[in-house]
Structure 1
Amino acid sequence: MPAAPSPRVKSIEPLSIVFADDGLVPNNPMPFLVYKAVIDLDGADPAADIERVFAASGWGSMWRNGVYDYLHYHATVHEALGVAGGTARVRFGGDQGQELELRPGDVTILPAGTGHQCIAASSDFCIVGAYPPGPKMQVTRPTPENRARALKTIPEVPLPATDPVLGAGGPLTRLWQQAR
């Protein structure tokens, strides 16, 4: 059986947002990135389309599900989230952050420490998560103790070699190197 064709990816500049440390959620001085409608999902399995894009850029440890409905972050790894189906309103950056409407084909890239929480989602909402090579993802809740530990681990998280959407030449590497 022939391999599925690679989905079309638009070469666009992502929206770039820097969230301040809010006292519980450390966030990151590197920008949170949002690609709107960047992946053309016209295949029979949109989640598999996103997985192929992420895998082609060397991002793995993928999963399919939603976004937790409680505020959390990951202090040991960066994360990419690609919307395969449905819609959701997700708050990024903690309680003082920003709510975004996510739709199929959108991808968000969260530098380690970026708070996120699903506020509302359609019943068919499906997201694909992926991580660059490195440590396993750990869910961290916003407490003063966790923030203190995260402020030590976040600067040690290596920069990814590639943008999960646009690969080695993608904006992530440039934008994150400039911020670090």
Structure 2
Amino acid sequence: MAVNQVEPETFWVKPTPHSPNSALPVVVYRKALSDTSPENILTLIERNGWLKGGHWKTFKVPHFHSNTHECYGIVRGSSTYQLGKSPLDADVDEEGNVNGKTFFAQAGDIFVLPVRTTSSTNSFLLLTVFEAGVSHCSIESEGEYEYIGLYPEGDLVDGSRWDINWAKDTPEKTSELAKKCASVPIPEKDPLYGLGGPLTKLWRDALNQA
């Protein structure tokens, strides 16, 4: 059950008209786990107050969660994710900047999506955490990709551990959802390293600078 001590990588996904995304960065722990079995992932992450939501295979439909952050524990395979871009968004914004980011993760990685990031995936073995207002989906997968989704414990928002938004609302509705996403608290514990882990400080610092 050993956890490798690794420095986190961070990157931001800017908002689009149909994907709220986040002022908080996506946090990535590369090669943090040697044992990526479902049992080990659940033991390591649930002890830090992030609870199992399900065990799934590749999900290629862009979506985001407006009421929770999300941690992915990748059981097998590999994945490339499309983050932060709705099917309704143009490839570039009015200033010529690319909408969304493509993100590759592989065996032993962990990454965290903050609330409000839209995503989709292509697959490899890893553990990931998203702030879920960042839209996300798999673009392509390899190696019989499977993952476990985990969400911070605490009071349920709207009666559910997580909701699903398909990133197809009007810009006005997306703006309303962004306000809801911004009200979701930062977890007390890093899903991998627990109290005092990098995630909490990184996200609090980002909010202070926003």
Whether these two folds match at TM > 0.5 is yes
Is 1:103 the counterpart of 2:128? The answer is: no
CA contact (8 A) 1:80 1:129 kept: yes
Name the structure 2 match of 1:125: 145
More strand, by proportion? 2
Post-superposition CA distance 1:107-140 (Å, at most 9, x none): 1101100110100012511111100013311111
Q: Give the match for residue 3 of structure 2.
A: 9
Shift of 1:62: 3.0
The C-alpha deviation readout for 1:31-58, integer Å capped at 9, x for no partner, is: 111111111116xxx1111111111211
Q: TM-score, normalised by structure 2?
A: 0.76
Mapping of residues 65-76 of structure 1, within 5 Å: 65-76=56-67
CA distance in 2, matches of 1:130, 1:15: 20
Q: Give the match for residue 3 of structure 1.
A: none
- Residues 38 and 146 of structure 1: CA distance in aligned 2, closer, same or farther (over 3 Å): farther
Is the CA contact 1:41–1:49 (under 8 Å) kept in the aligned structure 2?
yes
Amino acid at match of 1:132: P
Segments of 5+ residues of structure 2 without an aligned counterpart are: 87-98, 121-137
Aligned residue for 2:163?
A: 138
TM-score normalized by structure 1? 0.88
The residue type paired with residue 163 of structure 2 is: Q
1:90-120 per-residue CA deviation (whole Å, 9 max, x = no partner) reads: 1122252222222222111011001101000
- Is the contact made by 1:84 and 1:127 (CA closer than 8 Å) also made in structure 2? yes
Mapped contact 1:41–1:104 kept (Cα < 8 A) = no
Give runs of aligned pairs for residues 31-50 of structure 1, distance below 5 A: 31-41=25-35, 46-50=37-41
Q: Moved runs in structure 1, 4+ residues, more than 3 A?
A: none
Alpha-carbon distance in structure 2 between the residues aligned to 1:38 and 1:26 = 29
Report the count of equivalent residues. 171
| C-alpha distance in 2 between matches for 1:67 and 1:147 | 25
